[in-house]
Amino acid sequence: MRIGTTAPDFELADHSGERRALTELTAAGPVVLFFYPAANSPICTAQACHFRDLGTEFERLGAQRIGISTDTRDRNQHFALQRAFDFPLLSDSDGAVAEQFGVRRGGWLTRKRRLRELERGHSTAARRGLVRQLLSVKRTTFVIDRHRVVRMVVRSERGHVHATKALDYLRYLS
């Protein structure tokens, strides 16, 4: 997904089970959509907590923060409750939305394929499949305007830079 392109619409359940659609979210103002690989991992926790801690700043600028991962709704719910997040965490468990946004890591091994490789004596097949599952998306943040146009993209595995860069961009616009 590049700057200036229209973000694909999607509808996913958040950590509380409520269905959220991108068109509805952007109708209320800009959306800062951040993809994170795995709930409760150290870098993802730091990334999401930084978005939480800067919440007042984002609200002043009229922007909504939305986290999205391939974790299950239950895992996201635990993560949100444990860290007192005041924004929705969406569950993209099949990776379809990550694929649309171009942040899904390639080469996912299906369970069937992993078993087949194990039968053939490839000892690293299961481990490789687990790593790819844990790191299923590239840590990426999108600033999306009311018309679903992508205005900024942050691509970095350093979790603490995403909220700061998105916030700096939103300040620049206002």
| Residues forming the active site | 44
Tokens (6 digits) for 12: 């996913």
Q: Which residues on adjacent β-strands are paired with residue 19?
A: 13
Q: For residue 153, is it left (φ>0), alpha (ψ between -120 and 50) or beta?
A: beta
Task: Report the distance separating Cα 112 and Cα 46, nearest Å.
Answer: 34
Question: Cα separations (Å) of 20 from 15, 33, 91, 115?
Answer: 10, 12, 10, 36
Distance CA(130)–CA(147), nearest Å, equals 37
Q: Let me know: does 79 contact 88? Beta carbons within 8 Å.
A: no
Q: And the tokens for 136?
A: 């299923």
Residue 55 gets which letter from DSSP? H
